[in-house]
Amino acid sequence: MPQPSRGRRPRIGLVLMTAVLTASLSAGTSPAGAASPPHATPNLGQNVTVFDPGMPVADIQAVLDAAHAAQVDDEMGVNRHAYLFKPGTYGTAEQPLQIKVGYYTEIAGLGASPTDVVINGKVEVYNRCLADGGTGNCLALVNFWRTLSNLSINVNAAGQDGCRSSANFWAVSQAVSLRRLDVTGGTLSLMDYCTAGPQYASGGFIADSRLPAVTNGSQQQWLTRDSEVAGWSNGVWNQVFSGVVGAPDEAGFPNPPYTTLDTTPLSREKPYLYVDARGRYNVRVPAARKNTRGVSWATGLTPGRTLPISDFYVARPSDSAQDINRQLARGKNLLLTPGVYDIARSIEIRRPDTVVLGLGHATLTASRGSTPIDVADVPGVVIAGVTIDAGPRKSPVLLRVGARHGNRHSSPANPANPANPTTLSDVYFRVGGPHAGSTDVALEVNSDHVLIDHTWVWRADHGVEGFTDTQRWNTNLGRNGAVVNGDHVTATGLFVEHFQQYNTIWNGDDGTTILYQNELPYDPPTQADWMNGAVEGWAGYKVGDRVRRHRLYGAGVYVFNQNNPQIHTENGFEVPNRPGVRLHHIMTVNLSAGIIDHVVNGEGEAADTTKVGAPVYLTGYPAP
């Protein structure tokens, strides 16, 4: 059933638990932080566990059960882990491997193809039940920061009760990606309907996957890109399909609320670590492609290039930005092992085609007001699997792609390459939450021809800092979430929430966004704190006044002014009224406090408290 609201996210105490992990760790002879010699097994550190199919299923199960127990409630913690599976089969019909995934956990196969690693069993996320001793108020609204990729799941629910055996459950919200999966033998449910209500879930992302029938359930918004689905049921507010074989038709919009693009105009799959037939570790870097549909691996290896692990500097959280920059200057790519890195100066990406790959939600925290990642105006850079946190001292930007050049976004010395865009995949941002944080802008894109493939840009609406809403408004500062100044920038899965002015500003020409999800900030104390000059409030998505061409498909802006329910926002979207600027399937919705007066540019009814949980939709702007 459609669910109206995320509501106030609870402030949960941390569960501190230790566990002895008995798995075989990938341990070579390279010292910590060193680049591995050719053909050596890389030392990926103590937070990476590598499983071999020869290990007893019971031993693997024990390791993963302990990991889940430690991480299931550790929403704002500092532990980061990756659990990687070498090619082979894990679990049997009689003894399936049933995995549950907690916070800051990556589960991934080490095959060249998703079919090289087979899990007979399940890989699941359930609701967190926050009341009545863990039996009531069950929801997935804060099930963030976890990753599942590059393997096959042959669903086997042996030993589970009747409801749990009905699907493989993946009840999640933002900053959670499913990539390169092949799921057979059962259904996939994106909500957990087996626990007591309300069972809300807030959104997610699937790419490059072959899936059985999918139950969307209470998921408020979702993007499925370049995949295959046997069927799809239900949708709450905003369900987008791009290049998906078997996707539902959008003709009935908004009932059901489906937005369907036959192909994805620009895509690049996320890089992945794999082990070849000789036991050597490599990183496959998929190529950018245009007008894609279906999975990239249906007829063989995903198109792209292979880099040996010896081409990477394998970094540890103890490494400084200076250490990392020295290795980048030598021509190394960068593999960030799981952990939290204090970054006091920018990690500088200056070489075209540099790859930065994070494992286990590796997290870069800005220190001393730094910009943790600064990418030059060069083509082909790929940054993937990295979380970037603001620190207490205000940063100008958390990730910058390219320097500003007036009306020219790419440096003449390093022209952008339309066929080889700089790409950000599963790159997440936080301003507040685990600690106080402050930045002017989280993500700034100045270069032309950039692809943003799934990001969550979050100014925290809750955390362990102990702030009231008004204290949070005055301490966790974030003016804009995403600012796009470059031309020909594409975003597939742009989630931006709670910033204090425009959440997203798109100034570049020929931009495209496929699924946009936004919540306006919960915490403005007064209307005077939420004014854009004489205009009440700031739109959740702003296309610059000089932009001539822009496309937006499947977008929602939500309001929940819990600190002052009387606050108004004039428009959910603001765009120039030009023939080349087109918005397709957009909506606003009220989550029980505050008012958005119009959907876009004064058009559309008010999303007010007479319509709690009932979106105000426009099929298109300008009207078709």
Q: What is the tens place of the pLDDT at every residue in 393-419? A: 999 999 999 997 644 445 555 577 899
At 29, the pLDDT band (50, 70, 90 cuts) reads very low
In this prediction, residue 624 carries a pLDDT of 78
Catalytic residue among 106, 444, 497, 519: 519
At 325, the pLDDT band (50, 70, 90 cuts) reads very high
The pLDDT tens digits of the residues spanning 561-601 come to: 999 999 999 999 999 999 999 999 999 999 999 999 999 99
Percentage of the chain surpassing pLDDT 70?
A: 92
Whether 86 has a pLDDT exceeding 70, the answer reads yes
**CA–CA separation, 422 vs 403, rounded Å?**
14
In this prediction, residue 42 carries a pLDDT of 86
Higher pLDDT, 559 or 29: 559
Give the other-Cβ count within 10 Å of 606's Cβ: 16
User: pTM of the full predicted structure?
Assistant: 0.93
Whether 14 has a pLDDT exceeding 60, the answer reads no
* Closest by CA position to 195, among listed 126, 133, 101: 126
Strand, coil or helix: 372: coil
Measure CA 182 to chain center.
20
Q: Is 406 exposed, middle or buried, given 0-12, 13-18 or 19+ CB atoms closer than 10 A? A: exposed
Whether 451 has a pLDDT exceeding 60, the answer reads yes
Whether 316 has a pLDDT exceeding 80, the answer reads yes
**CA–CA separation, 606 vs 594, rounded Å?**
11
DSSP state, 504?
A: E
The pLDDT tens digits of the residues spanning 134-177 come to: 899 999 999 999 999 999 999 999 999 999 999 999 999 999 99
Whether 28 has a pLDDT exceeding 70, the answer reads no
In this prediction, residue 160 carries a pLDDT of 97
Query: What average pLDDT does the segment 248-260 reach?
Result: 97
Percentage of the chain surpassing pLDDT 90?
A: 89
**Sequence-ordered list of residues with C-beta below 8 angstroms from that of 601, at least 6 positions apart, any chain:** 571, 573, 574, 575, 577, 621
Whether 438 has a pLDDT exceeding 50, the answer reads yes
* Closest by CA position to 398, among listed 451, 350, 459, 447: 459
* Closest by CA position to 241, among listed 5, 231, 150: 231
Q: Give yes or no: 574 in active site.
A: no
Question: DSSP for 334-352?
Answer: EEE-SSEEEESS-EEE-ST
